Amino acid sequence: MCFKSPAARYAPGLSLQYLDALPEQIGITIDGDNMTAITVDTEREKLSFIRYLPSSLAFELSEKSDVLLVDPKGGLDVISARYHGFRNIYRVDSDPTIIMAMNKMGFDVYRENTWKGLARSWLQKNALYFDLINISLLSGGPGGVFGFAEDYRYTIDAFVEYLRHLKSEGLLSVNLYILPPPRTEFRVVDTIYEALKTMGIRNIEEHIAAIRSWGVLSIIVKKGPLTEGEIRFIKNFCKERGFDLLYYRGIKEEETNIFVRMSDNTYFNAFRSLMEPDKREEFINSYIFDIRARDDNSPFFHYYLRMKNIKDIYRAMGRKWQFFIEEGYLLPLFLLILIVLSLLIALLPLLKRGGSPFRKGKTIPFFVYFSSLGMGYMFVEIGLIQKLIYPLEHPTLSFSTVVSAVVISSAAGSILSQRWQVLKKPYLLLLLSFLILLYGFVF
Cα dihedral 147, 399, 119, 238 in deg (nearest 10): -10
Q: How many helices (H) and strands (E) does the chain have?
A: 15, 11
Q: How confident is the model at residue 334 (pLDDT cuts 50, 70, 90)?
A: confident
Q: What is the DSSP letter of 279?
A: H
Q: How far apart are CA 188 and CA 226, in angstroms?
A: 19
Apex CA 347: angle with CA 344 and CA 349, to 5°? 110
Q: How far apart are CA 426 and CA 418, in angstroms?
A: 15
Digit-coded pLDDT (tens) for 61-80? 999 999 999 999 889 999 99
Is residue 142 scored above 50 in pLDDT?
no
Most confident of the following: 52-56, 71-75, 259-263, 406-410: 52-56
Percent of the chain with pLDDT over 90: 51
Instruction: Please check whether residues 378 and 307 belong to one and the same domain.
Output: no
Most confident of the following: 6-10, 96-100, 253-257, 355-359: 253-257
At how many degrees (to 10) do helices 184-198 and 266-275 cross? 20
The stretch 311-326 carries a mean pLDDT of: 77
Is residue 295 scored above 90 in pLDDT?
yes
Is residue 141 scored above 50 in pLDDT?
no
Is residue 164 scored above 80 in pLDDT?
yes
Cis bond leading into 357, ω under 30°?
no
Q: How far apart are CA 325 and CA 145, in angstroms?
A: 9
Q: How far apart are CA 295 and CA 313, in angstroms?
A: 24
Q: Which residue has the higher pLDDT, 370 or 20?
A: 20
Instruction: Please check whether residues 40 and 123 belong to one and the same domain.
Output: yes
In a domain, 368, yes or no: no
Instruction: Please check whether residues 35 and 180 belong to one and the same domain.
Output: yes
Most confident of the following: 96-110, 312-326, 347-361: 96-110
Amino acid letter for position 180: P
Instruction: Please check whether residues 91 and 171 belong to one and the same domain.
Output: yes
Digit-coded pLDDT (tens) for 366-425? 777 777 888 888 888 888 888 888 888 888 888 899 999 988 988 888 787 777 766 667
> For residue 31, what are the domain limits?
2-311
Instruction: Please check whether residues 381 and 305 belong to one and the same domain.
Output: no
**Distance of CA 297 to CAs 58, 262, 411, Å?**
31, 37, 30
The stretch 267-274 carries a mean pLDDT of: 96
Q: How confident is the model at residue 363 (pLDDT cuts 50, 70, 90)?
A: low
Beta bridge partners of 69: 91, 134
Instruction: Please check whether residues 188 and 263 belong to one and the same domain.
Output: yes
Digit-coded pLDDT (tens) for 104-120? 888 888 989 999 999 99
In a domain, 292, yes or no: yes
Q: How confident is the model at residue 186 (pLDDT cuts 50, 70, 90)?
A: very high
Instruction: Please check whether residues 404 and 294 belong to one and the same domain.
Output: no
Instruction: Please check whether residues 388 and 262 belong to one and the same domain.
Output: no
Intra-chain end-to-end CA distance of the chain, in Å: 42
Mean of all residue pLDDT scores within the chain: 87
Q: How many structural domains is the chain composed of?
A: 2
Q: How confident is the model at residue 33 (pLDDT cuts 50, 70, 90)?
A: low
In a domain, 359, yes or no: no
Residues 6+ apart with CB under 8 A from 103: 110, 111
pTM: 0.85
CATH of the domain at 50: 3.40.50.150
Amino acid letter for position 297: N
In a domain, 350, yes or no: no
Q: Which residue has the higher pLDDT, 321 or 122?
A: 122
- Residue 73 CB neighbour total at 10 angstroms: 27
Instruction: Please check whether residues 100 and 223 belong to one and the same domain.
Output: yes
Residue 323's pLDDT is 72
Is residue 219 scored above 70 in pLDDT?
yes
Residue 192's pLDDT is 98
Domain closes at, from 283, 311, 339: 311
Q: Are strands 208-212 and 166-177 parallel, antiparallel or unpaired?
A: unpaired
Instruction: Please check whether residues 100 and 237 belong to one and the same domain.
Output: yes
Q: How far apart are CA 381 and CA 383, in angstroms?
A: 5
In a domain, 295, yes or no: yes
DSSP 152-192: TTSSHHHHHHHHHTEEEEEEEEEEEE--SSPSHHHHHHHHH
Residues 6+ apart with CB under 8 A from 182: 266, 267, 270
Q: Which residue has the higher pLDDT, 295 or 410?
A: 295
Query: Which of 21, 23, 27 is CA-nearest to residue 7?
Result: 27
Element of type H or E holding 432: helix 426-442
Lowest mean pLDDT among 110-119, 122-131, 210-219, 305-314: 305-314
Phi, psi of 285 (to 5 degrees): -70, -30
Domain closes at, from 264, 281, 311: 311
Q: How confident is the model at residue 430 (pLDDT cuts 50, 70, 90)?
A: confident
Are 171 and 62 in contact by the 8 Å Cβ rule? The answer is yes
Q: Is 30 exposed, middle or buried (0-12, 13-18, 19+ CB in 10 A)?
A: middle
In a domain, 431, yes or no: yes
| Dihedral sign computed on CA atoms, order 118, 60, 196, 282 | negative
In a domain, 360, yes or no: no
Lowest mean pLDDT among 126-130, 295-299, 310-314, 437-441: 437-441
In a domain, 389, yes or no: yes
The stretch 250-268 carries a mean pLDDT of: 93
| DSSP SS3 for 347 | helix
Instruction: Please check whether residues 384 and 262 belong to one and the same domain.
Output: no
Are 179 and 318 in contact by the 8 Å Cβ rule? The answer is no
Beta bridge partners of 166: 130
Instruction: Please check whether residues 286 and 403 belong to one and the same domain.
Output: no
Residue 358's pLDDT is 56
Residue 356's pLDDT is 58
